[in-house]
Amino acid sequence: MRMGTQSRQYSFAASAIPLTLLAVFVVLSVSQPANALPAFARKYGLRCSACHESWPMLNYFGQKFKDNGYQLMNDRDAPIWQNASYWPITLRMTPFWSRESTSKAAVDTAPTGEQRMTTTGFNLSGLDILTGGTLEKNFSFLLVPSADEEGAFHFESVNVRFDNLFKSPWLNVKVGKFELDSFISEKRTLTLSESGGEFQLFHFIPVGDGNIFGQVGDNQIGAEWMGHSGNDRTRLSAAVFSSTDGNVDVPYGQNSYTGFFAGSQAFSTGKLGVQRIGGYAMYGVAPTTYLTSGGVPLPGSGIGNKSFSRVGFEGLFYLGPHLDFQVFTQHGEDSAWFGACYGEIMAGTCPDTNNNTTGILPAGARNPTWNGAFVETHYVYSPQLTIFQRSEWVRMSQQAFATNPSNLGDIDNYVVGYRYNPFMTSRAGFAFHNEYSWIRQRGTSPVTGTDLSSNSLLLGFDFDF
């Protein structure tokens, strides 16, 4: 969970900035036809509404296109048939103005050691460079080098996929670094703000827990089988990957793996639209014991694997051509070893002294468990204008230690906003994005251990080319 931590006085000039940006928005908001997202629009010449409910969020046809390995299953899929001027790359970045506020930050001069901190200013998001498509018919790839706002690069996605093996849509194999197969995708979320840009359930870790390896929202390195019916109504997948949370060079244990299994079924409800329901299960083990040199844990030396699991339901429901909502639930459980802050000691999540060399659990340690859900609603007034909200809750059902407050780490998160696309051509996309989010986590303020809350107001220009 991300919390804003910087502060300055909120001046009259700063408060006028949102009005200025809104005025700019009005000038730009001349209605024009909307076309497709650039990377594949330049190849197929489709309108944006063909694949996207509101870019970057996919609709049913867009999900089918993705499941087919970025293919329409016609002669134009193979690179040999592509126009030589086609450039299969999209660049995406978001300059924005925001107001970030956190209720309690550690401050030396505050009587309690904590005080509210608020900052406003202009900023930039990170950069995504996306290229994907086919190397040959039924040989697909996706490559996404990404940089944070300071220009430090990493590889968000790097994978190749063998499509329709033995001419069957049920046999597709992907190898590399990829997003786990939830049809509710955090990589294509409409929310961007500091306090609401990510799904909390996709990254939830109990307070004091040492297991970073069960985050559904992080891309993982491994292999995936995925199969679907010809009309994509039925989807099944199974993936196995190293328990490294997507980090390269196997920095934890060489013999720790996680499996992720998902399935869903879509069905038509007439004028309401095509509904989809499904479920997922994630089961894995990760190390809690490391060899050390001079007291420092050695990369790749992890043993003493302990287990964790995440299971839940997901659904996408349409209530006509303009209104839909997503539902996602999770029941999570970690080994008591993780709950006692054993596991990730390489990067300092837990102290080096928490190295499971004795095989004896701390007294009173239990498996931490929790339940959570979110509902995200989209009102698509037109392909150009989408209004959205998300309400998310996480509740601990059992703490790692009975001495912890029963609600320690519970999360409430609320987001509301809209995206307006004054234009989107086959060469570029542009969206005016306005969003407010608020998040609270119980008992996590840095000094007093009371509730910590943050809120974000973001006015941004999200563009790709």
What are the distances in angstroms from CA 87 to CA 90, 146, 188, 231, 346? 9, 18, 22, 29, 41
Give the pLDDT band of residue 75 (cuts 50, 70, 90).
low
Give the pLDDT band of residue 164 (cuts 50, 70, 90).
very high
User: How far apart, in whole angstroms, are the C-alpha atoms of residue 55 and residue 128?
Assistant: 14
Q: Is the pLDDT score of 39 beyond 50?
A: yes
What is the 8-class DSSP label of residue 347? S
Tokens of 341: 């802050």
pLDDT at position 202 is: 98
DSSP track, 287-298:
--B--EETTEEP
Mean pLDDT value across residues 135-140: 89
- Rounded to the nearest 5 percent, the helix, strand and coil shares of the chain are 15, 45, 40
> Which of the residue ranges 52-61, 153-162, 378-387, 397-406 would you say has the lowest mean pLDDT?
52-61
The b-or-e profile of 211-233 (16+ CB within 10 A means b, else e) is bbbbbbbbbbbbebbbbbeeebb
* Contacts for 384 with CB less than 8 Å, ≥ 6 apart: 31, 34, 420, 421, 422, 424
User: How far apart, in whole angstroms, are the C-alpha atoms of residue 141 and residue 177?
Assistant: 11
Structural domain spans, the chain: 12-464
For CA atoms 167, 168, 173, 179, the dihedral sign is positive
CATH entry 3.30.530.20 includes domain 12-464 = no
DSSP track, 40-93:
HHHHH---HHHHEEETTEE-HHHHHHHHTTS--SSGGGSGGGS-TT---EEEEE
Q: Which pTM does this prediction carry?
A: 0.86
Q: One-letter amino acid identity for 417?
A: G
Tokens of 261: 């299994």
Give the pLDDT band of residue 76 (cuts 50, 70, 90).
low
pLDDT at position 47 is: 60
